[in-house]
Amino acid sequence: MPLVRIPTTGAQLIASAQVVQRRQLTIAAGAAITPLQALELQINNLPNVFIWLEQTAGANGIAFSPYFAVDNINVAGAVRPNWLQLAPSSAIALGVPTFFNLRIVGNMITLGIDNPTLSAATLQVVVGASQ
């Protein structure tokens, strides 16, 4: 964490760190994005997590789940985050922005998104974390 000292006033200013990732995703009918495929964001020492989603096209019925990892696992010789589901699946309504603020301890955060409908869906997604 950056630290700035101003010797003339004795004050101590602290700059806050943050990471943000924005994506537009198109998910085919009947498809899903698992936590291992997209939106992985490293959040070491950034406990305040922000998730924002808006479905811009497709049918209602899309659902998402936030996932986090605190350690890694070895899968067929490849080291990957050991994803844990943070909360139950939540529905997204077409054209209605949805957001969540979470406070967690973890190394990475991501989303799983499921499209059980009969049409492709497009979503705008922002995942971020800060101190």
pLDDT of residue 52: 95
Q: Of 66, 72, 54, which is closest to residue 102 (Cα–Cα)?
A: 66
Cβ 115 vs Cβ 121: under 8 Å: yes
Q: Where are the domains of the chain?
A: 17-130
Size of the chain in residues: 131
Distance CA 104, CA 48 (A): 7
pLDDT of residue 12: 59
pLDDT at 15 over 80: no
pLDDT at 56 over 80: yes
Distance CA 27, CA 37 (A): 12
Mean pLDDT over 91-119 rounds to: 92
CATH class of this structure's domain 17-130: mainly beta
Q: What is the pTM of this model?
A: 0.81
